[in-house]
Structure 1
Amino acid sequence: MFIGRAFPTIVGSFPGKDHEKAVKLVLKYCPEIPCWPQLPAYPQEGMLIQFSKGLPGFNPEKLILDPTDANFEPQMLQFYEEYLAVKEAGKPVTESFFALTPEEARGLFCLKEKLAGAKPLAVKGQVTGPFTLATGLKTPDGKACFYDSTLRDIITKQVALKAAFQVDLLKELEVPVIIFLDEPALAGFGSSSFVGVSREEVLAVLGEVAEEIKARGGIVGVHVCANTEWDLLVEAGIDILNFDAFDYLDRFLLYTKDIVTLLNKKGNIAWGIIPTLKPEALKESSAESLAKQLENAFEKLTKEGSLSIQQVVEQAIITPSCGMGTLPEDLVEQALSLLKEVSSILR
């Protein structure tokens, strides 16, 4: 069981190009559950690129996987050989081509270095989720890779071992490791955006990645920065649900039965109450008003779900509504200061 105690953490992304500065801010405002920062100002840290190196037929400029490329078949063979070497032959994932490098994820290695000798409550990493990556990457004809069962399988296994690498790297710190699957595309699941995508297919890809993280001793969360079918994520075996509580609190609470199920299974809710997607709302918000929104939600859960306030708070984590990558740099500390204040009020 992971106890959140309403401590703060972040979703991941920061504006700017200074990893050291971002890590210092994380450790200043989220020392209990620090998270490594992603800086999408660097092209190699973009959501669809950062975890895609090594995919057969991957073109980072066009964001496609090309099964018609002459090199696709040998690259796919190499991919599965390396995957089996990790999964069946005991090759450490940290020594495989699924390992992230400092050039691809400088914030990860910077955070690990700064945490040497420290004992936070937990440490958090993140990876682009399999549904978002497989629907974001296309084939040359513009079709989402998710619709091709072979490409979907490759991408899912890639995400699973990119997450596994982070678990194995960060557990050297000897604290619990949380890995969030960033799944913004799940906001469109069930709509005309993804006609023909079945619930079973989504459950399968999420479940495979979640199982890999848990098998290595990690805790698996999912971040969706809008609304989605939250019951699906509970069914997929996710430990932590993270959502935009500033804009979608009422819609999330429509799933009270599933939320209660998760909490009673010792899972966590990560309440994304700091409006990092809305700079004007951020400027106008106070810690007291944001905390009050969450306190009202907590009370509703206790009434409808027969939970105690203590349980809801103990199993809460407080986050921004989404990453801060698009936020003006001069508002980052304001957002993080609000985050820490809201967390303190709730505790």
Structure 2
Amino acid sequence: MSGYPWGEATATGIGSHPGEDHAEAVRVVLGESPALPYLPELPARGVGADMIGRTASLLLEMPVEVQPSGWRFADRPGRDLKRARDHLVRDLDALEEAAQGYEGPFKIQVCGPWTLAGAVELKYGDKTLADPGAVRDLVDSLTEGLAAHIADVRRRVPGASEIVVQIDEPGLPGVLAGTVPTASGFGRLTAVDRQVAADRLGAVFPAGTFVVVHCCAPDVPFRVLRAAGAAGVSLDARRLNRRDEDAIGEAVEAGTALFLGVVPGVDARLPDVGVVAGPAVELWRRLGFPAATLASQVVLTPACGLAGASPAYARAALATCRKAARVLQDDPGE
């Protein structure tokens, strides 16, 4: 047993897919990522299918709407929130039908509280991130809404042995660095203290699930994510640099799983699976960890979501990650 919800030589996707056919996207995921399938997201469907609107639809007693500047909290639920919830219900219906008989771990994705706070505006126009009290309310609401969402997924996929929750936080490095623009765009919001960031992020982690935080931005804050209690970190392998390796090594030594993005998220020539697996093998070798742990602690993924890819490439990218993951198990030392 590896101690992780998945078996050795596992690959999965980040979340988003091209097109508007949610039933087909679910079938592709189950077929090409059978060791760790997930609920795909199709932002091409428009308002409410995007990362922010989809997660905002989970919030309890904090309705949202779309304004010219983007998503904003509203006085009451309206058309935009209904559309977002309808997209999610249709996706879950398709999942329930396609996943009959599936047994094993299953992954879902939600936008993290800091990225959400940096994107959704308060009723009077400032970003939620500008108001610590509003951030606390957002965290509390997301925590409750996410718990309800997980319960729904468990009901619809009764064979799911464990729910892996991916928290998408591409905006977190900017929150910590103080580079998130104000609503007007003329200023920058004050940087958030790292311990506060870890505490608020960790507060939304659902009990009884394996939480992986995904950040495809540069300067992934490994120590903040570990302090929050993340069991795994998902990142683009191309963005790794040597100055990150001490923090990565500490995380790996502590048992943190790594989801490494090893193929582009948009159409590109896909190399041989040995080349695809190379960044994981080389990282493990540089860090000095035993080859025997590589195939269980590292999961291969595309570098980011596949929304900008063609349907054929999205399928091929997942298949390539799946085949490359076997390299980690079959011949990790070469």
Range class of TM-score, shorter chain: 0.7 to 0.9
Look up the equivalent residue of 2:33 and give its one-letter code.
C
Q: TM-score, normalised by structure 1?
A: 0.80
Does the CA contact (< 8 Å) of 1:276 and 1:324 recur in 2? yes
Q: Does 1:199 align with 2:185?
A: no
Which of residues 27, 41, 52 is equivalent to 1:38?
41
Q: Does 1:60 align with 2:66?
A: yes
The aligned residue for residue 342 of structure 1 is 324
Q: Does 1:240 align with 2:244?
A: no
Which of residues 6, 18, 32 is equivalent to 1:15?
18
* Cα RMSD (Å): 2.5
* Runs of at least 5 residues in structure 1 that lack an aligned partner in the other structure: 76-96
Shift of residue 296, structure 1, vs aligned partner: 0.7
Which of residues 141, 165, 185 is equivalent to 1:179?
165
Does the CA contact (< 8 Å) of 1:159 and 1:209 recur in 2? yes
Does the CA contact (< 8 Å) of 1:7 and 1:317 recur in 2? yes
The aligned residue for residue 185 of structure 2 is none
Which has the higher mean CA deviation after the structures are superposed, 308-317 or 218-227?
308-317
Does the CA contact (< 8 Å) of 1:270 and 1:317 recur in 2? yes
Shift of residue 247, structure 1, vs aligned partner: 3.2
The aligned residue for residue 88 of structure 1 is none
Q: Does 1:47 align with 2:30?
A: no
Residue-by-residue CA offset, 1:6-26 (whole Å, 9 max, x unaligned): 301111100100011111111
* Runs of at least 5 residues in structure 2 that lack an aligned partner in the other structure: 181-189, 330-334
Secondary structure, in 3 states, of the residue corresponding to 2:235?
strand
Residue-by-residue CA offset, 1:256-305 (whole Å, 9 max, x unaligned): 34323431xxx31111112215x3xx31533221212211111122x2xx
Look up the equivalent residue of 2:203 and give its one-letter code.
E
Shift of residue 140, structure 1, vs aligned partner: 5.5
In 2 relative to 1, CA 328–288 (structure 1 residues): closer, same or farther, beyond 3 Å?
A: same
In 2 relative to 1, CA 345–136 (structure 1 residues): closer, same or farther, beyond 3 Å?
A: same
Shift of residue 186, structure 1, vs aligned partner: 1.6
The aligned residue for residue 226 of structure 1 is 217
Q: Percent identity?
A: 23
Residue-by-residue CA offset, 1:166-207 (whole Å, 9 max, x unaligned): 322233334111011011102324324143321122112211
Does the CA contact (< 8 Å) of 1:3 and 1:314 recur in 2? no
Look up the equivalent residue of 1:151 and give its one-letter code.
A
Cα distance in 2 between the residues matched to 1:165 and 1:253:
37
In 2 relative to 1, CA 294–56 (structure 1 residues): closer, same or farther, beyond 3 Å?
A: closer
Cα distance in 1 between the residues matched to 2:244 and 2:42:
29
Shift of residue 334, structure 1, vs aligned partner: 2.3
Which of residues 122, 134, 138 is equivalent to 1:139?
122
In 2 relative to 1, CA 2–166 (structure 1 residues): closer, same or farther, beyond 3 Å?
A: farther
Secondary structure, in 3 states, of the residue corresponding to 1:103?
helix
The aligned residue for residue 93 of structure 2 is 109
Q: TM-score, normalised by structure 2?
A: 0.82
In 2 relative to 1, CA 288–261 (structure 1 residues): closer, same or farther, beyond 3 Å?
A: closer
Look up the equivalent residue of 1:276 and give its one-letter code.
G
Cα distance in 2 between the residues matched to 1:102 and 1:138:
22
Look up the equivalent residue of 1:201 and give its one-letter code.
V
Cα distance in 1 between the residues matched to 2:174 and 2:290:
33
Q: Which has the higher helix share?
A: 1
In 2 relative to 1, CA 143–262 (structure 1 residues): closer, same or farther, beyond 3 Å?
A: farther
Secondary structure, in 3 states, of the residue corresponding to 1:246?
helix
Aligned residues: 304
Secondary structure, in 3 states, of the residue corresponding to 2:53?
coil
The aligned residue for residue 293 of structure 1 is 279
Shift of residue 223, structure 1, vs aligned partner: 0.5
Residue-by-residue CA offset, 1:197-222 (whole Å, 9 max, x unaligned): 21122112211101xx12xx211111
In 2 relative to 1, CA 57–328 (structure 1 residues): closer, same or farther, beyond 3 Å?
A: same
